Amino acid sequence: EFPGGVPSLYPDGRINVIEWHDNSTYFAGVRYAFATFVKVPSMPPRASANSFFFEWGYNESSWGRVAAARASAPSVRALRDLRFEMSSTNQGESSRIWVWIETVTNISHNGSLEIEIPSIYGAMYFDNDTSSDPGRYCKALPVEEYYYGSLPVSEDFLCRRVTYPKSGNEIRIVFFANESGIPSGRYVLELNVTNPNDLMSNREVLTSPCGSEFCISAYSKEPCGSNRQALTCPPFLPLPVPDLDTGEWYSEETAHQDPPWKWENDYWTSIPALSITRSMLFTEIMNNTLDEKLAIGRDDRPLRRSAIIIAFMLNKEKPKQTQTMHVRAPVSWHFDSVCDFWTHVEEVLPGSGLEPRYRDSLGGERVLEPWPSTAKVIQCRGDEHHAYIQIKAGLLPKKLYWFRIGIKRNPLDTPWRRNTWSVTFGSESSGEVPGFLVATFPDAVLDPIVLAWSDKESPMAVPIGIQFNITTNLFVQELHGKALYPMIRVIMPPLFEVVVAGDSQDVQGGDCFVVLQQEGDCRLCGVPFKSNTLKCRREWNRKNVAMVTLLKEEAWLLRGLMYKMWISVYNPHIQNAYAVDPRDWVMESFLGEPVPFASAPDGYALDYKDIDGFKISDRAYLTVEEPLDRNGSVFVPPQDFTMGFPTILEVGDRIELRAPPGYETSREVLSDNIILVECVGFEYLPVQWPSDGEVEEDPTLVRPPTRPPVPPEKPPWAAGTVWTLELPLLPLALNCSNLSNSSGNLAEGNASNSSNCTNYSDFDVSVELFALGLPMWALDAAEAAQNESVGNATTNASVRFLVLRNHCLSESGAVMAGFNWTLLPQDAELSLSVNMSYLLNGTNETNSSMLGHIEYASATNITEVFRLCIQATWVNTTALQELEMEAEFCHEMCQGMFNCSKSGNNTSSCVNSSVHGLAHESECLDSCLFAAPMVHVERCSTVPVETLPPNSSSIGLRVIPSTACVGACCSPNISSDLEFIRVGGASASGNMSGNDSSVWTCDCDDEGLLLIEVLWKSMSNLTIELEKWRLAYEEALELIHWDTFPLQAAPMCYDNKVVFLLGEGDLHPERGLLNGTVIPFSMAYQNPMRPPMWFMNFWTVRHEQGDSVISSAAVASWVVVSKLRYIVIELLTEVLKPEDAAEIHIEFVTVNPADRLDIVAINPQVFNFSQAYITSHPNETSLTHRRRGVAYGGRRLYWPGFTDVQVLERSELELSIGMLVDAVEYVRFDVGGVRIPWNGGQAIL
């Protein structure tokens, strides 16, 4: 039992406390427990933590409280943070409604989140989505911006406006998701409505759930028919109406005012509804000048404290008692909890005088009324973006008043879609009042060329781009008698260093390098502003600060346009820690000097932005081969690239190689009617690994270990031209599985497929074998083996494979004079013997006869070899002639048990016998002479054990009719493949033909060698052995291939980028070899039409893991030579005599800025520019000009006038023109005094 027993309840009236007052003993290490009923509150605790606290000695002093514990309570299942806001509460006006709600429990599919609205809102019109059914679904969008923070909703999230006739025409906005449901969390939903035309005042009623007469309540409901519901809830039914745009939904549910808890996921909540108000006559936020902003403390920059002036004029409202003025700012503005509020003229706008006049947004002036002394401000209370000001009676209608209110904090950025304010006083409201912009640089982002740290000894200056928009227009202004030029200041994180002109960077201040241009698709977008329109200075005491002053009109910046600025910097010389977030960059604009806190008359602070910085990565390695052809738009043949990374490449990594803008790395190809984009001429090149000495000198370098030699692809017995077949043979004509080849590859599964064959016994084995490439001489032996393999069950067959291969016999033996193995007698019988021999230190110690059957023995100190011998036996014709002379004797001896000799083939007993009766007794004579007059010859060779098929025996052989042999096979230690050339037939890699008359030749100078062809039968599964050798061979080759090409990811090319997405099969299996390894490859590309600007003319590479850039590198590119565009050269005058000078009109469009134009006469080379001069006048804009009575005009290009040019140098064939022209500039001028060829011809300049 619990030691304290049942406690007393409600000590001292505290209903949430239980106390035990006895002196019970609680033992250490013992678990105690009790159970009781509690009432769950209707909302989460707000005055304390949501926890249960246990204390022993609670009524004692701090010394007597011996132990305490806390247990977190589950979340109270109640809807929370319900808010209902409108951008305008004025009658008949369009408005946006924002509903804030946080749910604790998931709403399952077909469940609903319902917002009950007052009946006066029944005339409120919702913007609807058109549906196929008669009903209408109201548009409800989640507001996911950071300052609202709504969770997203599912695609099937819908909204209905439902009327409940049986519950007093109650109206609800019902949100639901049919399939996915609504997960728990915080939602901010936006609806567009048109307010009702009737006014509604919401008075205080303490007995209502929300404390007001009209409430807005929220419910989280179970779906209809769920197990927890005690009541039925019929589905919504659309109400047909004549006008589909106003169609509604209704439900027959009743008792909806106080639904049972069984219907709810979370307990319901309620707040006061907003009144429907009358519109004020005028309300506006004053647009202050720079000096006025300083006077009132207005600072529109992000997250700054500020103050604004609001002017308003009541319509009919004439308060008779204290009323509350409600100022609603856009979400993300914040007021102080005790806000500042000024009404006196000198407090609202110091220096405005006793009779100030209000300057409205249209430029007009309005008479301001002093704030009545009776309308005393009692207090100003702020709640996030709401301010509530209690004002006593005294304000009058149709009078213009103003006030200044303090702001605790501006938002980080302008809420563009919801930037409206409102002022409500009594029964009147301003409606939506346009807000002002947060003074920042919208959409400002950094675009660094390289993210790697710099070498402190020899840093590389790299440009960093900042793309931005502005809020405050930047142009020169005359204030306080002085011209103030706009300035942009960029403050970089520590260790960045702005590069300045000069031999040393260790100086204070200095002129820095900056480029500013407009972005977009306008005519001059992408063209840098002229250098004389900007001035860049490094701050005197901070090397990481650049100040860019805009000097001329061409460089003024306007709101709504996108710009980009490039500043040359040195990256920090150390790498950021991986876990540390990058530091922000600060971008500011000023009018005048950026004194620490800009103040009149020297400077004014304008816009401000904290731009997300980037992490400094490790240094990668990149080289790019410079092409010979650097002309614009040409296709460059494959060039060499190398890249390396200090971090091991992993699966899922991304490598991006980026060329300067304008380069094209891909091309489109048509494949199977599908357009594919592929890289142009991409190919990996072999890696050049560092030498052992380099690795020893620099331990950070890696190289593959020494690899063992690549094993043969096949075992020695299968090397070269080898014919193999798995038995039993199944007929080809019957679609059975028969596979054979001459490369030692076996076909499995022939026997297993026999059940799929029909009429198996009807096919001719010899025909099938011959069709598979077996020579005719071996057909009988092979057929016999086939019969053995199918004699019983296949699994018990005595033969599994046939192997036909060649062997070289290199040792000569004792033979008869003039004997030739290739010219054996027709009756010669061949046999083959195989003996095991053991070699010790290369010496034949012993052998044992195997006599046709091979078994591989195992030995430790000796080398096993086979001694392969071929024997030929035939009748000795010479001895046969002698026997014929003694035919009678032999005849008699034959009749006497055919004993023709006394011992063996000794025929001495038949000498001097008469010759007679041979023809009649030939059969007897043959039998008699069969064993006696025989010739035996033998040829042997020692071969390695591996050159014969395992567990095999020979069943047929022949001597190949050639006296030569392959040299590689003639060595006693056979290790390489045989290569034969078929004369007049198939190649060596094809199947052997069964035609015995074919001639085989092979490359060997020793004519004393003998080549034989042997048919072996084997009981071993040769497929397994061949597969083992093949896998070992391919594994070794693959490893060597990986060593040569450790990265094999297929690139994806588009525009100027080459991207490598690293997959499982793209990286060397020994991943450590990809740490710092330089990867070479070649790739073709197309040069850009116009050369990239110097600040973008870099090749870069980045190694990314996830969202982080691990390492990067950049290489400055070369200058691309562009081609002039739209060239027009026209002869303006008619030359009638050789001594007449011609006048020529020249026009073109530049691609790059230039200060010199060279004109060279190529053909005919009889031009003469030595007296040339410029005849056009700068800025002349007439469309029709006359030169010696000839009118011309109507240029095909836009005509801005002639270009200001001068002759610099001239000779007979060359003319140099001086000019100052920008990129993409139209250049036009006329040249006179030119002697042209009198004899005519095509002119080429």
Q: Which stretch, 62-76, 285-299, 1185-1199, has highest mean pLDDT?
A: 285-299
Q: What predicted TM-score, i.e. pTM, was given to this entire model? A: 0.74
68: confidence class by pLDDT, cuts 50, 70, 90: confident
d(CA 605, CA 486): 10
- Count the Cβ atoms, other than its own, within 10 Å of residue 353: 9
Q: Which residues contact 1055 (CB under 8 A, 6 or more apart)?
A: 664, 665, 666
DSSP codes joined into one string, 954-991: EEEEEE-S-S---GGGSSSS--S----EETTS--TTSP
Lowest mean pLDDT among 19-33, 976-990, 1047-1061, 1146-1160: 976-990
Among the ranges given (374-388, 565-579, 973-987), the one the predictor scored with the smallest mean pLDDT: 973-987
Structure tokens at 541: 């005491």
Which residues are CB-neighbours of 426 under 8 A, at least 6 positions away?
A: 317, 319, 323
Which range has highest mean pLDDT (100-104, 689-693, 1135-1139)?
100-104
Using the predicted structure, report yes or no on whether residue 746 has a pLDDT greater than 80.
no
What is residue 980's predicted lDDT score, i.e. its pLDDT?
29
Measured CA to CA, the distance from residue 750 to residue 895 in angstroms comes to: 55
Cis status, amide bond into 1164, omega within 30 of 0: yes
- Band (pLDDT 50/70/90 cuts) for residue 364 is confident
Q: Tell which phi-psi region holds residue 1041, choosing left (phi > 0), alpha (psi between -120 and 50) or beta.
A: alpha
The larger pLDDT score, comparing residue 1220 to residue 47, is at 1220
- The residues facing 154 across adjacent strands are none
* CA–CA–CA angle 90, 92, 94 (5° rounding): 80
Half-sphere exposure of 924 (CA within 13 A, CB side): 19
Specify which of 326-335, 342-351, 716-725 reaches the highest per-range mean pLDDT.
326-335
Task: Please write the tens of the pLDDT for every residue from 175-213.
Answer: 988 788 899 999 999 999 999 999 999 999 988 989 999
pLDDT at 992 > cutoff 60: no
Q: Which tens digits make up the pLDDT trace of 700-728?
A: 888 899 899 999 999 988 888 888 888 88
Question: Which pLDDT tens digit goes with each residue over 633-658?
Answer: 899 999 999 999 998 999 999 999 99
The sign of the dihedral angle between the CA atoms of 330, 335, 339, 344 is negative
For a pLDDT cut of 90, what percent of the chain falls above it?
A: 44
- Residue 1189 confidence class, pLDDT cut points 50, 70, 90: very low
Confidence of residue 752 (pLDDT cuts 50, 70, 90): very low
Tens-place pLDDT, residues 400-445: 999 999 999 999 999 887 899 999 999 999 999 999 999 999 999 9
Least confident of 474-488, 719-733, 1031-1045, 1122-1136: 719-733
pLDDT score, position 839:
75
The pLDDT value given to residue 923? 46
Mean pLDDT over each residue of the chain, to the nearest integer: 81
DSSP 3-state assignment of 555?
Answer: helix
Lowest mean pLDDT among 940-949, 1102-1111, 1211-1220: 940-949
Whether residue 735 is predicted with pLDDT greater than 50 in this model: the reply is: no
Which residue, chain included where needed, has tokens 């070794």?
1036
If you average pLDDT over residues 208-219, what whole number do you get?
A: 92
Question: Once rounded to an integer, what is the mean pLDDT over residues 1021-1037?
Answer: 91
Single out the residue of 99, 94, 121, 316 nearest to residue 199, CA to CA: 121
pLDDT-derived band at 788, boundaries 50, 70, 90: confident
Task: List the structure tokens of 461.
Answer: 């200056």
Give the pLDDT of residue 228: 52
pLDDT band for 688, please (50, 70, 90 cuts).
Answer: very high
Phi, psi (degrees; rounded to nearest 5) at 1113? -155, 160
Which regions of 961-1106 does DSSP assign to beta strands (E)?
A: 981-982, 1000-1001, 1010-1018, 1052-1054, 1057-1061, 1078-1086, 1098-1105
Distance between CA atoms of 55 and 66, rounded to whole angstroms?
8
**Tokens of residue 1088, six digits:** 């850009």
What residue type is 408 in one-letter code? Answer: K
Q: Is residue 738 pLDDT above 80, yes or no?
A: no
Instruction: Single out the residue of 831, 842, 839 nearest to residue 866, CA to CA.
Output: 839
Q: What pLDDT digit, counting tens, does each position of 81-129 carry?
A: 999 999 999 999 999 999 999 999 999 887 889 999 998 888 888 887 7
| pLDDT-based confidence at residue 220 (cuts at 50, 70, 90) | very high
| pLDDT tens-place string over residues 850-874 | 333 444 444 456 788 888 888 888 8
pLDDT tens-digit profile of 915-956? 333 344 444 444 444 455 778 888 888 888 888 998 889 999
Highest mean pLDDT among 58-72, 880-894, 1035-1049: 1035-1049
d(CA 396, CA 313): 9
Torsion region of 749: left, alpha or beta (phi above 0 gives left; psi -120 to 50 gives alpha)? left
Percentage of the chain exceeding pLDDT 70: 80
Residue with tokens 């005599």: 1137
Per-residue confidence (pLDDT) for residue 570, from 0 to 100? 95
Binning pLDDT at 50, 70 and 90, where does residue 313 land?
very high
312 vs 331: CA distance, rounded Å: 22
pLDDT of residue 1098: 95
Instruction: Output DSSP code: residue 529.
Output: P
Is pLDDT of 905 > 70? no
